Amino acid sequence: MQNNIDISKFIKDFESNCSKVQIKDFEKGETITTFLVNRNQFCILISGNADLVRYDYNGNRIVTEKFSENSIFGEIFYQINTNSEFVVEARSKCKVLLFSYDDINEKCKSHCSFHQKLLTSFPQLIISKITDLTSRIELLSRRSTRDKLLGYFNLLSIQYGKTFTLPFSITELANYLAVDRSSMSRELSILKKEKFIKQDRNRITLLY
C-alpha cells in the first residue's frame, strides 16, 4: 500500500502526447475495464478508488483487490479464467492511465518524455505491488481468522505503532482477509473480551 514515488502528481498536469497511452476519467460506479481476453492491458490508477470484483458462477460478488492512487492493474497480471468474470469498478471518480504493455516497450525506445518518466517509475510501482500481494498471501494462508487478524494488525503496527486506523471498513477487512464478515466480527469480540485489542469501529489498539 505504501508507494514512495508519485506518478500521479507527475501526470496530473500532463496531457499524454502519445497515441498509444490513454488517460481516461470514470465516474463512480462505472466499469473501468474487464478481464476477458488477453490484450496485455496495463493500467495505473492516477486518482480515485476502484475495486477488482469477481462474479463467480453463483453470481456472488467478491471483491478480490482494492486499488487506490498509484495502484497498477490489468489483464496482463491475470490468467483469464472462463469460470468467473473480473470487472474493475470505480468506487469514486477515477483517473486512469491505460496502455498495452507491448506498446510501452516499443515506445519507450523513443525519447517521448512521458514514456521516459513512466518507464523510470515502473519498477517501484511494480515492486510495491508485489510487496502488497505477498503480504496478503502470507495472511490468507493462515488457517484461522484470529491469526489473520493478528497478522494483519501486526503489519499495521510496524508502520503506525500500537494504535492505528484500518485503511478500510470492517466489512472490507473481512473481504481482504477472505472470511465471513459476521464470523470475523465474532472473533473481534473475543479478542476484545480477552483484552488483546481495543476496537472502536475501524480504530484498533493492540494491548500486547
Partner DNA sequence: AATAATCTGTTGCATTTGCAACAACCTTTT
Partner DNA sequence: AAAAGGTTGTTGCAAATGCAACAGATTATT
Residue 100: CB partners within 8 Å, gap ≥ 6? 20, 39, 40, 41, 42
Footprint on residues 175-204 left by DNA (CB under 7 A)? 178-189, 199, 201-202
Smallest separation, CB 65 to a copy of itself (Å): 8
Q: Which does 140 bind (CB under 5 to 8 A by kind): DNA, a copy of itself, none?
A: a copy of itself
Residue from 65, 95, 118, 187 touching a copy of itself (CB under 8 A): that is 65
Is residue 158 part of the contact set for a copy of itself (CB under 8 A)? yes
Could you tell me if 31 and 69 are in contact, meaning their C-beta atoms sit under 8 angstroms apart? no
Residue number, 94 or 188, with CB nearest to DNA: 188
**Helices and strands, counts by H and E, the chain:** 6, 11
User: Integer distance in angstroms from the first to the last C-alpha of the chain?
Assistant: 25
Residue 174: CB partners within 8 Å, gap ≥ 6? 180, 181, 184, 185
Amino acid, single-letter form, for residue 155: L
Q: Which does 207 bind (CB under 5 to 8 A by kind): a copy of itself, DNA, none?
A: none
Q: How far apart are CA 173 and CA 156, in angstroms?
A: 13
Kindly write out the interface string for residues 107-146 of this chain, putting x where it contacts DNA by CB under 7 A and - elsewhere: ------------------------------------xxxx
For residue 198, which of 159, 157, 168 has the smallest C-alpha distance? 157
Q: What is the CA radius of gyration of the chain?
A: 19
Is residue 171 part of the contact set for a copy of itself (CB under 8 A)? no
Is residue 171 part of the contact set for DNA (CB under 7 A)? yes
* Contacts to a copy of itself by CB under 8 A: 54, 62, 64-65, 76-83, 101, 105, 122-123, 126-127, 129-131, 133-138, 140-143, 151, 154-155, 158, 178-180
* Contacts to DNA by CB under 7 A: 143-146, 169-172, 178-189, 199, 201-202
